[in-house]
Amino acid sequence: MEIFNSLEAVPRAFGPSAVAIGKFDGVHAGHRRMIAELLAYSSSAGLLATAITFDRHPLSIIRPTECPVALVSNSQKIDLLAATGLDATLMLPFDRDLSELSPEDFVRAVLVDALHASHVIVGADFRFGNRGAGTTESLAGLGATYGFTVQIIDDVVAVSEDEPHRRASSTWVRELLTSGDVAHAASVLGALPTIRAEVVHGAQRGRELGYPTANLSPQIEGFVPADGVYAAWLSVGGAKYGAAVSIGNNPTFDGVPDKQVEAHVLDQTLDLYGATVDVSFVEYIRPMNRFSGVDALVAQMNADEKRIREILGYPPAAGKP
């Protein structure tokens, strides 16, 4: 997938293209439906399948106090978009100048002059241009003027027993991750919720307890779920390993930072210091609790590991109850 980080980076000969426009935060099920439609159309019409997204949430410029926490970093977003099979992504720097473009100026500069768009796909709630003045109806009108067609994608309803008719959205995913419901978040995303960070040196308490852990740097990419213990996969260097992951300050010990993320890799002894790893959450196991002592903590960790092995399909641990 080609990646363009500005309009100036797009080659003059690029296109013709079919384009999907969105924030693509998390690349959830609704986004995936849009991209699937884009790929199908571009394949049949001989166009380059291209996504337009932004390097930050527009609210960070327009109304900073209302801007939500991103589900993924820009590098994670690019990886997710690339995995869908797109030909190209244009990640526009969302700054004050871009926010003040009129709808027609946006269309002319981005869709027409840069990408030579023949077909444009957007969600039903799409707004664009200064103060969100552009709507799907005005986009269709501009398409008639500048020679591209417009396709509107209806909301995608995600599976939920509690809210069976709720549309897939980044807001919903944030709510689920904030409550620790990573399994439900995965169903809305269409992929496991994942964070990325460098492994750094920690206090090595886990090693002393028989559970060595990879401690993630506080500079974490992606949305960190609620405090607790999780079944997860840890990916590094093209390999994937089952892991027991804890998030929180581990109240049994003093001095552990808030939102510390530690991953115990099952059945492996790996030197991960300095490596950047992805941690993909599968299922919530339990909250972070304060234990009466080390023995009680280790007993609970053994129970956690047993359950996590069952969830991930790992054999029982040798020599552990």
- Decide if 149 contacts 122 (C-beta within 8 A): no
In whole angstroms, give the CA distance from residue 94 to residue 53. 9
**18 and 149 fall within a common domain:** yes
Whether residue 252 is contained in a domain is answered as yes
- CATH number for the domain spanning 145: value is 3.40.50.620
Whether residue 175 is contained in a domain is answered as no
pTM to 2 decimals? 0.91
**117 and 24 fall within a common domain:** yes
Question: How many domains is the chain built from?
Answer: 2
**116 and 225 fall within a common domain:** no
Whether residue 57 is contained in a domain is answered as yes
**202 and 119 fall within a common domain:** no
pLDDT at 296: 81
**17 and 148 fall within a common domain:** yes
Residues spanned by the domain of 286: 193-312
* Long-range contacts, stretch 127-133, CB < 8 angstroms, 24+ apart: 128/21, 128/103, 129/101, 129/102, 129/103, 129/104, 129/105, 130/99, 130/100, 130/101, 130/102, 130/103, 133/102, 133/103
Whether residue 301 is contained in a domain is answered as yes
Tens-digit pLDDT profile for the chain (321 aa)? 999 999 999 999 999 999 999 999 999 999 999 999 999 999 999 999 999 999 999 999 889 999 999 999 999 999 999 999 999 999 999 999 999 999 999 999 999 999 999 999 999 999 999 989 999 999 999 999 999 999 999 888 766 666 667 888 999 999 999 999 999 999 999 999 999 999 998 655 555 555 788 999 999 999 999 999 999 999 999 999 999 999 997 655 555 566 889 999 999 888 899 999 999 999 999 998 877 677 788 888 889 999 999 999 998 877 666
- Decide if 282 contacts 230 (C-beta within 8 A): yes
Whether residue 299 is contained in a domain is answered as yes
Sheet architecture: strand order including 2-4: 2-4, 88-92, 48-54, 17-21, 117-123, 149-153
Whether residue 167 is contained in a domain is answered as no
**19 and 135 fall within a common domain:** yes
